[in-house]
Structure 1
Amino acid sequence: MNTTSTHFRLSFKIHDEAFSLAQAATCNLYMAVGHRSLRLAVVDTSRNKFVVLEDYELLSVFSPVQVAEQLRLMATENPLLQEKNWQTVRVSVSNLHFTLVPETLYDPDHQLDYLRLHSQFDPQHDNVFSYRHSGLEAVNIFSIDTALYEALQHVFPDRPLQIVHQTSALIKSILHQASRLTERKIYAFVERNYVTVLVAGQSGLEFCNIFHYLSPEDFIYYIIFVMQELKLNPEQETITVWGDITHDSTLFSTLQKYIRNVKLGKKPADVEYSYKFHDLFEHRYFELYSMHFCE
């Protein structure tokens, strides 16, 4: 008897009427797997345009194994996941198990050793991957739960998957947008109970880490701590924020209380969006859009 039950809900969907699955061979499918969400997007590469977005909320799901179960269930009814002819399938995962290593020091035979220094991952139940940041001359080493990896292979059995850590997508997109920076800037990507903080300047990426927060006080503590460590003045700096946050939320008002200038970020440039995306808040789904800048 199958005891697995459905614990996901489609919370938002955009589908450009000019797109059909018959065009999959010239389109990329992006999948962002979060702690409590699974988001899909399609880019028509011939037009360099986002044409589809689907946002699924994961309900009563508290572990990577449960996320994997819901992905398998979703694939039984979702046409995007049933289509096998995509030009590229790229998946980003969000978790705390990652580390950035200078490329000059990177040895593929020691991936587990690098990650073990910075993360309490379980080699028995996690698969380790790496992603090379050519512009940074750095390698992002990360792990994903084996159950989730096997579920991805089950959904797409006959084609290679490009798997990246969510931080790599954010880094690629922020550095792409900030290529003309003359001074350091701080950025935050907000998820439910997690915030990724990045600092970039003229020399490139200077800081990237993910923090787990349980309250607005935790949330602001980590951000102010990073600013203090990097000698960024909250009275003078501007923080740009993307993700699951709104201008009238407690998190946003807490940011405004401690940092003089707070602004919501915009969608990445240098890629087009179907007119149906125009009504979305600019700062939402940044992690999904940013996957377009991974190669």
Structure 2
Amino acid sequence: MNTINTHYRLSYQIQDEAFSLSQAAQCHLYISLSQKAIRLAVADTARNKFVVLEDYELITVFTPLQVAEQLRLIAQENTFLQSSDWGLVRVAVSNQQFTLVPETLYDPSHQFDYLRLHAELNPLQDVVFTYRHSGLEAINIFAVDTGVQQAMQDLFPAQNLQYIHQTSALIRSILHVTPRTTLRSMYAFVERNLVTLLVVGPAGLEFCNVFHYASPEDFIYFIIFVMQEQKMNPEQETLTIWGDITHDSSLFNILQKYIRQIKLGRRPADMDYSYKFDNVFEHRYFELYSLHLCE
């Protein structure tokens, strides 16, 4: 008897009518996991086109174990999570348990120790993964909760799952779409209660961190703080922003009070999107689209 309560709702769903699950072998399934949402997208690799997007909002979910429980419940009614025929399944994890280490200093036998310097870890609950950024010559070391990993493994027992920290997907995508100039620029990806801030300069990535905020005041504090630490001027810099934010939100309103130039980011342009995506704000679901640019 299933005693786990449902704490999710399907808040958005689109599917190109030309796509069917029989095409899964030539498609990639991308999954984004956080404590606030479980999202998935399907990319048809033969046409280099996104054809499916689903967004499940998690309600009163506070722990990774609860995320895993809701993932299992969603999978009971979601045919995409029931298929084992995907060409690739890539999973992005959103949390603050990550660190970037220069490749020249990286020793695989000490990856847990590197991460423990920057995050609270429990050896019984956290599995450590890595992702190599070839262009940066850096390694992203991050943790995935064992309950989440087990749920994913149970859903896709025959797949070689690829785990990526969400910051890596954002870094790959932002460096890909950002023209190299002599200027430094700040970028933000907004989730409910988390904001990822990146600074890119002439030599590439200069700063990346994830901050937890509980109010609009917290939100703007971290942005201004990082700008000041990075010697950037809120009166002169342009902040490009993606994610769960709208023009009429309290977050956007407070941004306008302190940042002179705000630009909503666009989705990656070197791939196609079904016409069904035309009604989706371009700055939304950037984390899912960015998974297509990872290796």
Moved more, 266-275 or 175-184: 175-184
Give the Cα separation in 2 of the matches to 1:138 and 1:199. 16
Aligned to 1:68, what secondary structure does the other structure show? helix
Residue matched to 1:240: 240
1:181 deviates by: 3.2
- Letter of the 1:232 counterpart: M
Is 1:159 matched up with 2:167?
no
Aligned to 1:253, what secondary structure does the other structure show? helix
Moved more, 173-182 or 25-34: 173-182
TM-score (norm 1): 0.98
1:36 deviates by: 1.0
Is 1:147 matched up with 2:173?
no
Aligned to 1:240, what secondary structure does the other structure show? strand
Give the Cα separation in 2 of the matches to 1:47 and 1:211. 37
Residue matched to 1:272: 272
Aligned to 2:172, what secondary structure does the other structure show? helix
- Letter of the 1:49 counterpart: K
Residue matched to 1:96: 96
Residue matched to 1:176: 176
Deviations 1:100-139 (A, max 9, x none): 0000000110000000000012112100000000000000
Deviations 1:211-251 (A, max 9, x none): 01111111111101110111111110000011000011111
Residue matched to 2:137: 137
Gaps of 5+ in 2: none
Residue matched to 1:257: 257
- Letter of the 2:64 counterpart: P
- Letter of the 1:40 counterpart: L
1:46 deviates by: 0.4
Moved over 6 A (4+): none
Give the Cα separation in 2 of the matches to 1:77 and 1:261. 44
Residue matched to 1:18: 18
Is 1:121 matched up with 2:121?
yes
Gaps of 5+ in 1: none
- Letter of the 2:273 counterpart: Y
Deviations 1:78-112 (A, max 9, x none): 01001111011000000010000000000110000
Residue matched to 1:206: 206
Deviations 1:263-282 (A, max 9, x none): 11111111110011011111
Moved more, 259-268 or 173-182: 173-182
Moved more, 93-102 or 247-256: 247-256
1:158 deviates by: 0.8
Is 1:40 matched up with 2:45?
no
Give the Cα separation in 2 of the matches to 1:13 and 1:60. 21
Residue matched to 2:64: 64
1:2 deviates by: 2.6
- Letter of the 1:274 counterpart: S
Give the Cα separation in 2 of the matches to 1:180 and 1:44. 30
Would you say how many aligned residue pairs link Structure 1 and Structure 2? 295
Residue matched to 1:222: 222
Aligned to 2:255, what secondary structure does the other structure show? helix
- Letter of the 2:16 counterpart: D
Residue matched to 1:292: 292
Give the Cα separation in 2 of the matches to 1:285 and 1:181. 26
Fraction of identical pairs, as percent: 68
Aligned to 2:279, what secondary structure does the other structure show? coil
- Letter of the 1:33 counterpart: L
Give the Cα separation in 2 of the matches to 1:75 and 1:246. 29
- Letter of the 2:122 counterpart: D
- Letter of the 2:32 counterpart: A
1:179 deviates by: 4.0
Moved more, 69-78 or 110-119: 69-78
Give the Cα separation in 1 of the matches to 2:88 and 2:292. 11
